[in-house]
Structure 1
Amino acid sequence: MEKKTTDKKKRQGKSLTKKVTGWLHLWLGLVSGIIVLVVTLSGTMFVFCDEIIDLCGGSARYVQVPANAKKMSPEQLLAKFHQQVPDRKAFYFDTYKEADRTFRVASATKPPKDKNAPKAGKPKERGPRGVFAYHYLDPYTGEIKGSTKSYEFFYIVAHIHAQLLAGKFGKTVVGVASIIFFVQLIGGLILWWPKKWNKTTRTAAFKIKSGTKWRRKNYDFHNVFGFYSLLPAVFITITGLIMAYEILTDLTQEAFGGTKDAHKIAEKYEPAFDPEKKALSYTDFVNINFAEFPEARQVRMSLPRNDSATVYHVVAAKFIGLKSLSNGKSMETNKYTGKEIIYPKEVQMHEVIEHMNFDLHVGYWGGMFGKIFTFVIGIICTSLPVTGFLIWWGRRKKSPKKVTEIKNIHQHRKEHHEQPA
């Protein structure tokens, strides 16, 4: 008789594993919920940064092509840019093969010489890097057709995602919250897993029940969509942790044929500065890359920080976004010859692995489909701390009432049982 009672309790009650997992799932969620919400929301917003930046550029991205007109050189356009906005410094430009596309300049406001004493009539700079922006120039006249600070917006979004705008401390907080989120995902799977698989449990596990109140719908959303997003969410979290922790970055590089010392090794293969040699013009670099990559519609060139720099970073592709490119190549080039610098295999693999990990993290791996897929997963992950909190809050608010009701029922039954027949 005692054995049957014990078996019945085992069948009805939660296992120890689920009890411990449930307790951890609750309290880890309450501790990290706000951080996870901010990190996932900011990451989700970043997925479509290229499309939003282009949308903000609007009609300034195009011009009417004058008859028999010839585009100005990048050097001339950059000079025109600095004449019109002398308080800004360009750090790269985008030029396009299409005749009607404007010349785009990425720049930052120059930091003040004395941060404690800003010039009269001008606001104090937010930081030494200045404020980022894109300006669109008519490639035939050099006139600025428009600008957008969407670059600055997504720079801030990216740094909220990576470090909560709090430097190393923020990066540590995000890293710890990401580890907790990973544990939460595994714990959620354990709690989701039914004791027995039958028609009823399958329906509850995979479908949102219709005709229910909002509390039940909220629970189903957390439970069901949490399961459907589990594998991609785990994958996105792991790729994020690889970027966040140097030890994981190094292990990933070593595992896939890269090297953690890529930048030190690369310096040995870069040309030495020679004041007697003349660097190729930006026009030369643009022409070389359009000629070598005929499928490219866009060339991006980073401007050297000083005259002694001997390596120019150049990207030629069908499309180049803020942190992405499609059907093209990113390379380091010799400023004296315009040719790509050929690094050892492990250095090349370092770049491939780094970019691939980033693309997997933000959804750039599958074009528009990859972005939409990652965006949907991001929305679900952003909702999990909210729906989880509402589940806990609902139970917390409901609990005293239910306890009172149960006590009243038991008391009523007791009084009824004690009445004489």
Structure 2
Amino acid sequence: MENKKTNLRKKQGKSLTKRITGWLHLWLGLVSGIIVLTVTLSGTIFVFCDEIIDLCGGSAKYVQAPANIKKMSPEQLLVQFHQQVPDRKPFYFDTYKDADRSFRVASATQPPENKNAEKAAKPKGRGPRGVFAYHYLDPYRGKVIGSTKSYEFFYVVAHIHAQLLAGKLGKTVVGIASIIFFIQLVGGLILWWPKKWNKTTRTAAFKIKSGTKWRRRNYDFHNVFGFYSVLPAIFITITGLIMAYKVLSDLTQEAFGGVTDAHKIAEKYEPEFDSQKKPLSYASFVEKSFREFPEARQVRIGIPGKDSTTVYHVVAAQFIGLKSIVNGKRMEINKYTGNEINYPEKVRMHEVIEHTNFDLHVGYWGGMFGKIFTFIIGIICTSLPVTGFLIWWGRRNKSPKKAKEIKNIHQHRKEEHYEQMV
């Protein structure tokens, strides 16, 4: 009987794989925990950026449409914007089919012309892009009726997520932390996996035990919620790594029929700048977009930064968010003819693959359901470094008496289990 118990104890002990995995899981988690928490939290916040930006727009998103008066053209409204907000440079605008929707301009503060003044005026940590904001204009009268810097907030959140606001170094740190997090997820699944499946192990693996103290509750949160989120979390991490590392992005492009040097190829199909030719008006692009896409309720047109730009970026859709579109199309338009640029299929696929990977990463793949699902996974992933740290801290700071009691309880339970198996 004693020999059987001894053999069972050896068999029930942790395998070498689990011991190594456990060691890596602990120390990799401690090393990368703060970075992972920052990246996952910022990514989770970004999921609902469109809804929050719309909420911040408030009543300025709508106007009282007067009878028998047409909306001003985008050119006229941009002139009005420059006159009322001269210190800002617009880089795209949104116009809407609905009569009661205001005209929205995305802009950034312009750096001062004087270099010394620029150095003195530039806020700490700001680049030359300035501060982003949305301004809402009455499309019938041209008056600025509201603004929000929610654009700036989510720009900062996105760059915390991608590079910790630390440029190339931050991007490298985030990339390494993401790889570690991927290893952590796989390792966590290995550690979670019961050695034998029975009613007791299934209950412990899939359910959080009620009526327990916070240490046990925290342990269950980490294990159970970690398991339920592991596959989508791995998927989100992989799509993030594809965006972070060019080698993975290139492999993805080649695997799905895209091309790695799409932008260089695209330039060959774009018209050359001709100072003698006059570009078509923004109004003509808007009218054409609504005419060709009758289901579209919104059109966005990028404002070129220089006159030599010959291609306009146009989006027509039911809804266009900060980085998302719903039931619509992105187009590159010849500014002289108004026709869409006829890029090769591989160049078009490059854009489709790039945008699809982004949508999969941030939850735009499934409308509101996809966002809610991704948000929940993000919350769980954000909690994992915290609950994992508390498990480690709790074990490290147990009193000798408490540690002995817990050890005796675990030993007693093991012996009961061995006797039942015998």
Q: TM-score, normalised by structure 1?
A: 0.93
Amino acid at match of 2:79: A
Q: Does 1:317 align with 2:317?
A: yes
**Alpha-carbon contact 1:118-1:124 (below 8 Å) kept:** no
The residue number in structure 2 matching 1:45 is 45
Tell me the TM-score normalized by structure 2. 0.93
SS of aligned partner of 1:301: strand
Partner-residue secondary structure (3-state), 1:258: coil
Counterpart residue identity of residue 54, structure 1: D
Partner of 2:357: 357
For 1:403 and 1:213, the matched residues in 2 are separated by: 15
Question: What's the counterpart of residue 26 of structure 1?
Answer: 26
Partners of 1:115 and 1:124 within 8 A in 2: no
Alignment of 1:250-261 (within 5 A): 250-261=250-261
**Preserved CA contact (<8 Å) 2:315 2:330:** yes
Offset at 1:69? 1.2
Structure 2 contact 250–260 (Cα < 8 Å) conserved: yes
Would you say the 8 A contact 1:111–1:127 is kept in 2? no
Q: Please list, as runs of the form range in 1=range in 2, the aligned pairs for 1:12-161 lying within 5 A after superposition.
A: 12-118=12-118, 124=123, 126-161=126-161
Q: Distance in 2 between matches of 1:79 and 1:281?
A: 14
Distance in 2, matches of 1:6 and 1:263, equals: 67
Residue equivalent to 1:294? 294
1:127-176, CA deviations, whole angstroms, 9 ceiling, x for partnerless residues? 31000000000000110110000000000000000000000000000000
Letter paired with 1:188: G
The residue identity in structure 1 corresponding to 2:363 is G
Check 1:141–1:402 CA distance in 2 against 1; reply closer, same or farther (3 A cut): same
Q: Letter of the 1:384 partner, please give it.
A: L
Number of the residue aligned with 1:176:
176
> What residue identity is the alignment partner of 1:272?
E
SS at match of 1:304: coil
How far 1:307 sits from its partner (Å)? 1.0
- Structure 2 CA distance for partners of 1:309 and 1:213, relative to 1, 3 Å: same
Matched residues in 2 for 1:329 and 1:403: separation? 62
**Separation in 1 of the partners of 2:76 and 2:34?**
49
| CA shift for structure 1 position 123 | 6.9
1:193 matches 2:193: yes
1:78-112: CA deviation from partner (whole Å, max 9, x where unpaired): 00001001000000000000000000000000012
Alignment of structure 1 residues 257-336 onto 2, 5 Å:
257-336=257-336
Partner of 2:221: 221
State whether structure 2 residue 323 is matched by structure 1 residue 343. no
SS at match of 1:295: coil
Residue 74 of structure 1, CA deviation:
0.3
Aligned equivalents of 1:322, 1:307: Cα separation in 2: 25
In structure 2, runs of 5+ residues without a counterpart are 410-422
Aligned equivalents of 1:366, 1:408: Cα separation in 2: 50
Identity of aligned residues (%): 82
Distance 2:284 2:19 in 1: 68
The 3-state SS of whatever aligns with 1:229 is helix
Q: CA deviation at 1:408?
A: 12
- Aligned partners of 1:107, 1:368: CA distance in 2, in Å? 28
The alpha-carbon deviation at position 273 of structure 1 amounts to 1.1
Aligned equivalents of 2:294, 2:173: Cα separation in 1: 46
Which of 16-25 and 123-132 deviates more?
123-132
Q: Which moved more, 1:391-400 or 1:166-175?
A: 391-400
Quickly say closer, same or farther: Cα 1:292–1:186, change in 2 above 3 A: same
- Give the secondary-structure state (helix, strand or coil) at the position aligned to 1:385: helix
Q: Deviations over 1:263-318 (max 9, x none)?
A: 01100100111122111000111011111110000000000111111100000000
SS of the residue corresponding to residue 338 of structure 1 reads coil
Deviation for aligned residue 1:66: 1.1
Q: Is the partner of 1:117 in helix, strand or coil?
A: helix
How far off is 1:398 after superposition? 1.1
Q: Indicate if the aligned counterparts of 1:93 and 1:300 stay in contact, CA closer than 8 A.
A: yes
Report the CA distance shift for 1:124/1:398 in structure 2 as closer, same or farther (over 3 A): closer
Distance in 2, Cα, partners of 1:186 & 1:70: 59
Cα distance change on mapping 1:400 and 1:283 into 2, 3 Å: same
Instruction: Tell me how many residue pairs correspond in the alignment.
Output: 408
**Partners of 2:405 and 2:205 in 1: how far apart?**
29
